[in-house]
Chains A and B, each alone.
Chain A
Amino acid sequence: MAKPTWEEILEIYDKSKDKLVKSGLQQAFAEDNRFYELDFKKDLNIPAEFSKDATVLPTARDRLDSLVDHTDISNARITVNKRKETGAELARLEMLEKFGLGLIHRVNVESDISPLRVSAKHYWLHGITWIKTVFDRDIWDKDKGLTLPIVVVAVNPINIVPDPYHNGRDYIFEVRKKLVYDAKRLPFKWKNPHELADDIEVEQIEYFDKDYRCILINREPVWDVDNGVVEHNYGFLPYTAIESGLGNVDVDNNPVKRYVGILRHMKGLLISQSSIYSMCDILTKLETMIGGYITGADASNIPKITQAYGKWWPMGEKDVKFNRWERNLAPREAYAHLAYITDLIDIHSAPKSMFGLGEEGVRSGADRRLVLAEAQSKLNYSKDSFANGWAQVLSKCAKLVKDVVPDNFTIWAKNSSNDFDVSINKEDFREPFNFYVEFSPISEEDEYRRHEDLLRMFNGGLYTKEHARGKLSDVDTKALEKQELKEMIKMSPAYIELLLQYFMPMLQQALMEAGLPPPMPIGMPGQQPQGGGTTGRPLTTNVPNRAQPGSMQEMLNQRQNTMGTNPRGQQGQGGGGNRSFGV
């Protein structure tokens, strides 16, 4: 690709921006945002005199946040394909896994807010998230490999102007406003050629394609070298788009139809729900503190009367009569309609079971599980797509290490399943990078069922131990095998004998130094008398080797005995429900 000039870049930017504006995508994103921020009171169409009592229900937020929470970003598990590898190659691939894990861990702990969380929110709100991965030269120069020199940021899709014909796969503009004061500081140290005041807002346009990068502030290049357009050596476009799949790639490739968040086609329902709720709410308030009117000859001559609890007003001889307004509560149909709208919102977005509420008509645990699985299957693609997108991000970061980061650096992770601090060797980064990212299940119940299932498969002989372990992404099979072997060796007489060989001379030397006599020789381990030395008929018959009641061993034995006839497995198989209640 020929190197573009900054003037050409500016021209392409204007065209791309124009096309983007005409597509209406940014407007659609702004609308998504408005509904997420519950800023649609004016759309409820409540009469002006009651508008201050109108309520916007937080349904939009609840539904979206529920989906974001289900895109579980904690407990990331990273694997690379190392099935056939052994020796040095295996060690290299294991280091790649640690790099992936460490990278996600570091960007999570070192950011004000995790870019994974931010990207998950953009993902469900707008149907697309953009993740930017760049090498940070300033950090590298400062820390020389002690701090992660790779920056991973979730860029708001509204700040992205993609190339209009390939959806940002050829080149990207990232646009943001900043103060002149900020533009003059790091990282770009803009020279402010027209000497604008510090508090004026200027536009920063960052251009990236797979070979070149250009920063324009106030439509002028920041860098003097290479005519403002520099080669970045990344070998890839450092922006990764992850699409939720809720939209549709139509014949016109209309981005508004392609990038669809969960609220996009629910706005009418959200407005209806809040509108009907507000009307019911206003009527209920009016009827609860109901007013009235006064009739009679002296109606206009009575002093001011206010409604108060337990207070009676003496009227003397005055001819007045107090009348209540006719009661006028919201009709039952309004409440039924409100419930119907809520059901429609559930169907369109996240079913009740996804945010911990019971589904109607669900009786047994198995039935509930089935309903939950159906609910999750609705969003399965989006969840997988998010994890796959992050696998792409990791591959790009690995390429950065290979081609851009100047030297080795250290990376670490510390959480419930990972604890390492390793030096990343640049030489070990070779393509292909094939990361597989999995974000662990959100529910402990899911995790438990997975373990239970594997245990049964293993006990039933369908799976081997190694295969079953391989199914658990947080389990390092090789490490466990090594630990097992170590345990076996530790129990062996040969090992104990070996340790004794070290121990005895130490003891003898210490005793000698103290001027004490040497100890009596110790018998060989493992030479315990067989059969207790008895001959002839034993005094009792064989006593079964049972664990002491209440001991840990007894509990383990019981657990072993119940394995394979797990009562959970039978749950729900008998029809469930208590028929006498007609459920």
Chain B
Amino acid sequence: MKETNIDLMDELVADGVGILKELFNEEIKPLIQKRKEMEHKIANKEISEMHRMEQEV
């Protein structure tokens, strides 16, 4: 079978998506996880602050 440009594009997209998935799992997902943890921390801190202020009042 002679390869057309579309075949090549398909091959490249498949390669690219594979690499993208790998990168996503290795780099982006941990970042999202970290951000999630940070947000939780901030939220907890805000809640505890509010709770302290309520107590003071």
List of A residues within 8 angstroms of B2 by Cβ: 86-87, 90
Of A489, A495, A503, A516, the residue contacting B32 (CB under 8 A) is A516
**Minimal beta-carbon separation of A520 from chain B (angstroms):** 14
Assess whether B12 is in contact with A486, with CB atoms less than 8 Å apart: yes
A514 at the interface (CB under 8 A from B): yes
B45 at the interface (CB under 8 A from A): no
Chain B 27-40: CB-based contact to A (< 8 A → 1; otherwise 0):
01100110110010
Assess whether B35 is in contact with A499, with CB atoms less than 8 Å apart: no
Q: Which interface residue of B33, B35, B36 has the most chain A CB atoms within 10 A?
A: B36
A286 at the interface (CB under 8 A from B): no
Assess whether A510 is in contact with B32, with CB atoms less than 8 Å apart: yes
Assess whether B16 is in contact with A499, with CB atoms less than 8 Å apart: yes
List of B residues within 8 angstroms of A498 by Cβ: 13, 16
Alpha-carbon separation in the docked complex, A375 to B39 (Å):
79
List of B residues within 8 angstroms of A302 by Cβ: none
| Residue of A with least CB distance to B16 | A499
List of B residues within 8 angstroms of A511 by Cβ: 32
A347 at the interface (CB under 8 A from B): no
Of A86, A90, A489, A506, the residue contacting B9 (CB under 8 A) is A489
A507 at the interface (CB under 8 A from B): yes
Alpha-carbon separation in the docked complex, A126 to B32 (Å):
75
**Minimal beta-carbon separation of B36 from chain A (angstroms):** 4
A309 at the interface (CB under 8 A from B): no
- What bracket does the count of chain A residues touching chain B fall in? 20 to 34
Chain A 501-540: CB-based contact to B (< 8 A → 1; otherwise 0):
0110011001100111000000000000000000000000
A337 at the interface (CB under 8 A from B): no
A304 at the interface (CB under 8 A from B): no
List of B residues within 8 angstroms of A489 by Cβ: 5, 8-9, 12
Alpha-carbon separation in the docked complex, A514 to B33 (Å):
7
Alpha-carbon separation in the docked complex, A511 to B21 (Å):
15
Assess whether B17 is in contact with A516, with CB atoms less than 8 Å apart: no
Q: Which interface residue of B12, B20, B29, B39 has the most chain A CB atoms within 10 A?
A: B12
Alpha-carbon separation in the docked complex, A514 to B35 (Å):
9
Alpha-carbon separation in the docked complex, A87 to B1 (Å):
5
Assess whether B8 is in contact with A495, with CB atoms less than 8 Å apart: no
B3 at the interface (CB under 8 A from A): yes
**Interface residues of B, dominant DSSP:** helix
| Residue of B with least CB distance to A503 | B20
List of A residues within 8 angstroms of B20 by Cβ: 499, 502-503, 506
Alpha-carbon separation in the docked complex, A490 to B39 (Å):
37
Chain B 17-57: CB-based contact to A (< 8 A → 1; otherwise 0):
10011001000110011011001000000000000000000
**Minimal beta-carbon separation of A512 from chain B (angstroms):** 10
Assess whether B12 is in contact with A482, with CB atoms less than 8 Å apart: no
| Residue of A with least CB distance to B23 | A503
User: With A511-B32, A516-B39 in contact, is A490–B12 under 8 Å at CB?
Assistant: yes
Assess whether A495 is in contact with B16, with CB atoms less than 8 Å apart: yes
List of B residues within 8 angstroms of A486 by Cβ: 8, 11-12
A472 at the interface (CB under 8 A from B): no
User: With A502-B20, A503-B20 in contact, is A516–B12 under 8 Å at CB?
Assistant: no
A88 at the interface (CB under 8 A from B): yes
User: With A498-B13, A499-B17 in contact, is A516–B1 under 8 Å at CB?
Assistant: no
A485 at the interface (CB under 8 A from B): yes
Assess whether B36 is in contact with A515, with CB atoms less than 8 Å apart: yes
Alpha-carbon separation in the docked complex, A510 to B24 (Å):
10
**Minimal beta-carbon separation of A428 from chain B (angstroms):** 14
List of A residues within 8 angstroms of B36 by Cβ: 514-516
Assess whether A495 is in contact with B9, with CB atoms less than 8 Å apart: yes
Alpha-carbon separation in the docked complex, A511 to B39 (Å):
12
Chain A 472-485: CB-based contact to B (< 8 A → 1; otherwise 0):
00000000001001
Assess whether B12 is in contact with A495, with CB atoms less than 8 Å apart: yes
List of B residues within 8 angstroms of A503 by Cβ: 20, 24
Alpha-carbon separation in the docked complex, A88 to B28 (Å):
43
**Minimal beta-carbon separation of B30 from chain A (angstroms):** 11
Chain A 76-120: CB-based contact to B (< 8 A → 1; otherwise 0):
000000000011101100000000000000000000000000000
Assess whether B5 is in contact with A507, with CB atoms less than 8 Å apart: no
Other 9 A-B pairs with CB < 8 A, given A482-B8, A486-B8, A499-B17: A86-B2, A88-B1, A490-B12, A490-B16, A498-B13, A502-B16, A502-B20, A510-B29, A516-B32
Task: Give the 8 A-B CB pairs with smallest separation, nearest first.
Answer: A514-B36, A499-B16, A502-B17, A87-B2, A514-B32, A510-B32, A489-B12, A506-B24
29 inter-chain pairs at a CB distance below 8 angstroms, sorted by A residue, are A88-B1, A90-B2, A482-B3, A482-B8, A486-B12, A489-B5, A489-B8, A489-B12, A490-B16, A495-B9, A495-B13, A498-B13, A498-B16, A499-B17, A502-B20, A503-B20, A506-B21, A506-B24, A507-B24, A507-B28, A510-B24, A510-B29, A510-B32, A511-B32, A514-B35, A514-B36, A516-B32, A516-B35, A516-B39
